[in-house]
Chains A and B, each alone.
Chain A
Amino acid sequence: MTHFEMPLDATSWSVLLPYLVIGGGGLLVMLVDAFVRTLKKDHLSYLTLCVFLASIVVQIAVHPGEGPRLGGMLLAGDWSRFFNYLFAGIGIMTTIFATGIYDRDGRYRPEFYPLLLFTVLGMMVLAAANDLLAVFLGLETMSLATYILAGGVRGNVRSSEAGFKYLVLGGFSSAFLLMGMALLYGYAGDTNFDAIARVLATGGGATILVTAGSALMLMGFGFKVAMVPFHMWTPDVYDGAPAYVTGFMATAVKAAGFAILLRVALLLQPQLAWAWYPVLTVFAVLTMSLGNLVALVQNNIKRMLAWSSIAHAGYLLLGVVTLLSPAVGDPARQALARTVGESAASAVLFYLVGYSLMNLAAFGVVNVLSNRGGEDADDINRYAGLSRRRPVAAATLAVALLSLAGIPPFVGFMAKFYLFAAVVKAGLVPLAVIGVINSLVSVYYYLRVIVVMYMKDTEADSYDGVEWVSVATAGALAALVLYLGIRPDAFHAAAASVIRQLPF
């Protein structure tokens, strides 16, 4: 009780700085919203953008070094920096998409911006967490804000239903996660990842606790990344929430979930790969297959993208499975552990970024149309003739969808290439075959949207006006999708070096 580490020294401050910028920025935006009466509609979004940019600048300028900091609570270094950039980037895109399109009845919703900042804060903590407490803190900060974002369109039944459903099921999953953490704490006697790793390495303690605990934690994370069979909320929530929130959830929340899933998988891998590996294999196959099959029959583009995001979670899980595979089975394969783990984890990171880019591009376009077309604006058939009236929007969406389908020369193909290469490298050829068959199935429903946009035509223009800033942003994302599809190497190498910096 009497021992205290030296509280915040200079290094700790430098670690904390980006978190302080985002969190303080959130408070600032709240206060400005509450006190400045003469505020124009867009001012809060400019302020939010400034906060995100400031967090990026701070991270470029300040390097706190590698390793656990703040009494082992957070992991500083390239890993957290990588995810912080990603979250800030997604946050910027979401802010741009949200600006000017507050909700369907045009009501101004200033509380969106602080909530977005707090969500990002939670994600940053979650991705950098090096302690079970930090995991829970980050996860809950993220989740609570997302519940409100999802249900944020007041007066819209579907949005309220989305928020409510997400809240109830999310609370349920958090309970599982917490129980799992408690068991893990019971096993290791500590909540710190490094301490848990040490106990695991010695092999002492009751294995039943850590097995059960990790299973419960897997449920909690599985819920966040929409892993089958914990995916039930996804279509309703993605459909009900406003499109810019859906885009945010499908990319940032998923990335945060996979960040922590990767960390925990790496942490528990030596002891628990035997338990996680078969379970995750089944879940990964189920996730991508169900996601793709159900997406085939969707008529609402947001539901279609929701199911497709479930399928993509399945591909990503394949990466986690690959990561775990060398620790299972004969010792000869364990020699591969380092290289396979590295290529699998870096493939997952690359996939997350590529997926975020193309999904945001798609949702950027969907978002613009979603707010301009009345009740059934998200019906795929309403997109008929889009290529004539909105050539840039249609081309952007087409590029995003082709990329999601994994067709070269777009980043979606390269992401799948790196991922399946890692899978094959680990010797899991059947899983790779299942993966490519799945991406084959997905081609059909992505093409369907393109068919409607480019090959069907209607007389009437069913969407009035277009928000050109959003379209231009989405177009820029599409250009990035193309660029990273042709020159992915430098970026992939960066992802690999991030993985190499990890302690385990």
Chain B
Amino acid sequence: MSFITDHILTWVTFLPLLGSLLLWTVVRRDDHARVFALAVALADFVLSLHLWFRYDGPGGQDMFTEKVAWLFGGKINYHLACDGISLVLVMLTTFLGPLVILSAWKAVTERVRDYMAMLLFLQAAMLGTFFARDMLLFYVFWEAMLIPMYFIIGIWGGQRRIYAAVKFFIFTMVGSVFMLVAILWMYFQAGGMGLEQFLALDLERQAQLWLFGAFILAFAIKVPVFPLHTWLPDAHVEAPTAGSVILAGVLLKMGTYGMLRFAMPLFPAGVEAFAPLMSILAVIGIIYGALVALVQPDIKKLVAYSSVSHLGFVVLGLFSLTPLGVAGGIFQMLAHGLSTGALFLLVGVIYERRHTREISEFGGLAHRMPGYATVFMITMLASVGLPGLAGFVGEFMILLGTFGSTTLDHPRLLTALAATGVVLGAIYMLWMYQRMFFGKLTNEKNRDLRDLSVREYAVLLPLVVFMFWLGVRPGMVLDRVEASVERVLAPLAVPASPHADDYPQHALGGGTADAPVFVVHEGEAHR
């Protein structure tokens, strides 16, 4: 086995790619393609479990490093590594992989082989993005990700799929080409493309501002941060279910991951200058997303706008520049991946049965589909942030972190405004749930709806389990993340909080019992 474990990151990243190549060349029949793709995705998940159990990087170090000279005799390398932050996002990706393939079992009937191959290709590119520690390698994976997603939306999407696919592609490209120029410029300053070489640079403030702008544009479009979000609802609504799940579950996290991994540690001066703006945009995103979600007649659009709102929390947490807020942001990425991914799957389930997503078409579904209603309820509550479920922990940590931030201008005001987003989130979700599931079954077309099938339970139950699990034992994730967060943010030299007495800075490391952070400690206790 050592030939696998020695190059575990390469295996995890390229196994899906290998699978997609085999799908295109060897596999002929559709039903074989489904089984084969599922097997590959499951195998990838099993491989990634190796990372999960073996990762114990002291001080949040990179582990499993692989480094091979690629270009210019070693100035640019094939350099993969995994630290706590990468780890949790990779686990999310490989975990969603098989579920997504399973969800497309019946929904996709045309060009199944191509569809499965695209999903696996996409997974490989996403994993590579999380592992890459060389800027050019990162950029290659980052851009390569566009191709399969473009085809997934454009071929298997809804009515306006072409518009949505092209818009998705162009928007993302707009951001990333400027990042490429910034990377090139830094390459000649640093003498190499390695992330550690970039980190070692000591750049002037003016240069940092420009470079930060170029990087943050790419990542902010991907997240998406408020004024740049317009591609997201289109892409989500038009994408097939599996595409939406991957998009919400993993792809959007690329943006926040990029901010955390690259934009923030590389340009402290840029962060200092832009943090107020970013936090304000994040808060606008939270409230705007929630308000727009409130009035959506289409469930999928509602969930899409709720993503804008939830990702706003993540950005706010990151730019609070407190360990608590950042760790909360990472946790929220994970929780959002699970809950929103599950919501899109649930929307897919009802769309497969009724071929409509209008909320007004439904009502009283709880009578016909009790199982569906239960799963939907749990998922929705996780998304809203009910304590005990995954969504709560992240949002709460973010709000706490923002409140204690010393770098933002009006931390308490921002926290208060962001908190209204939580309330609005509860309103639109619960209202939607009420309209869809409660009351009398009025629409005749809903009379014969089947409840969830075994396959659909198999897709959804793992997600539900993890929503609970992360809700009661967040330490499982936070333990692995906290040291890496501190290491990544070390260049920022976050000043000590004036509220240090109220909200201990060492909370993440395991402080004394203080009500707001009990969740963390519970995790600690069970370790």
Residues of A within 8 A of B (CB): 402, 407-409, 413, 417, 420-421, 424-425, 429, 432-433, 436-437, 439-440, 443-444, 447, 451, 454-456, 488-489, 492-493
Contact = CB atoms under 8 A, between A and B. Distances in A.
Nearest to B181: A432
A436 B165 contact: no
A455 B165 contact: yes
A425 B75 CA distance: 14
Interface stretch (B91-99, B144-152, B426-434): B144-152
Interface residues of B, number: 32
A439 B71 CA distance: 23
A409 B140 CA distance: 6
A432 B185 CA distance: 10
Interface stretch (B44-52, B169-177, B312-320, B326-334): B169-177
A244 to B, nearest CB: 28
B11 interface: no
A421 B72 CA distance: 12
Contacts of B70: 489
Contacts of B136: 417
A409 B166 contact: no
B178 interface: yes
Contacts of A439: 177
A421 B187 contact: yes
Contact of A455 (B155, B174, B188): B155
17 contacts: A402-B147, A407-B143, A420-B184, A424-B184, A432-B181, A436-B178, A436-B181, A437-B177, A440-B173, A440-B174, A443-B170, A444-B170, A447-B169, A451-B162, A454-B151, A455-B154, A489-B71
A489 B150 CA distance: 29
A433 B217 CA distance: 14
A440 B177 contact: yes
Contact of B180 (A420, A454, A492): A420
Contact of A408 (B144, B170, B174, B184): B144
Given A429-B185, A440-B177, A407 B146 contact: yes
Nearest to A438: B177
Q: Label chain A's interface by main secondary structure.
A: helix
A420 B143 CA distance: 17
Contacts, number: 73
A433 B69 CA distance: 28
Interface in B483-515: none
B429 to A, nearest CB: 33
B139 interface: yes
Nearest to B184: A424
Given A408-B144, A429-B185, A443-B169, 12 more contacts: A408-B139, A413-B143, A421-B188, A424-B185, A429-B181, A436-B180, A440-B170, A440-B173, A443-B170, A488-B71, A489-B73, A492-B71
B157 to A, nearest CB: 8
B161 interface: yes
Nearest to B188: A425
Nearest to A485: B140
Contact of B181 (A402, A433, A455): A433
Contact of A433 (B143, B155, B178): B178
A179 B422 CA distance: 76
Contacts of A444: 166, 170
B185 A443 contact: no
A458 to B, nearest CB: 15
B166 A451 contact: yes
A429 B178 CA distance: 11
A413 B165 contact: no
Contacts of B188: 421, 424-425
A381 to B, nearest CB: 13
B174 to A, nearest CB: 6
Q: Which 4 A-B pairs have the closest CB atoms?
A: A436-B177, A408-B140, A424-B184, A455-B154
Contact of A413 (B73, B140, B185): B140
Contacts of A492: 71
Contacts of A456: 162
Contacts of A429: 181, 185
Contacts of A443: 169-170, 173
Nearest to A435: B181
A409 B144 contact: yes
Nearest to A443: B173
A421 B184 contact: yes
Interface in B347-370: none
A413 B176 CA distance: 13
A167 B150 CA distance: 43
A447 B172 CA distance: 14
Interface in B171-224: 173-174, 177-178, 180-181, 184-185, 187-188
Nearest to B139: A408
Interface in B58-76: 69-73
A447 B140 contact: no
Contact of B161 (A424, A432, A436, A455): A455
Contact of A432 (B69, B169, B170, B184): B184
B434 to A, nearest CB: 38
Contacts of A409: 140, 144
Nearest to B24: A395
A347 B136 CA distance: 17
Interface in B234-290: none
B464 to A, nearest CB: 35
A420 B181 contact: yes
- Most A CB within 10 A of own CB, among B155, B184, B187: B184
A488 B154 CA distance: 30
Given A402-B147, A429-B185, A447 B174 contact: no
A444 B140 CA distance: 19
A456 B146 CA distance: 20
Contacts of B143: 407-408, 413
A451 B181 contact: no
Nearest to B137: A408
B188 to A, nearest CB: 5
Nearest to B187: A421
Contacts of B139: 408
B221 to A, nearest CB: 13
A444 B167 CA distance: 10
A425 B169 CA distance: 29
A417 B76 CA distance: 12
Contacts of A493: 73
B462 to A, nearest CB: 32
A489 B72 contact: yes
A407 B147 contact: yes
A454 B155 contact: yes
- Most B CB within 10 A of own CB, among A402, A421, A425: A421
A319 to B, nearest CB: 14
Nearest to B153: A455
A424 B181 CA distance: 8
A136 B164 CA distance: 52
B190 to A, nearest CB: 12
A451 B185 contact: no
B176 to A, nearest CB: 9
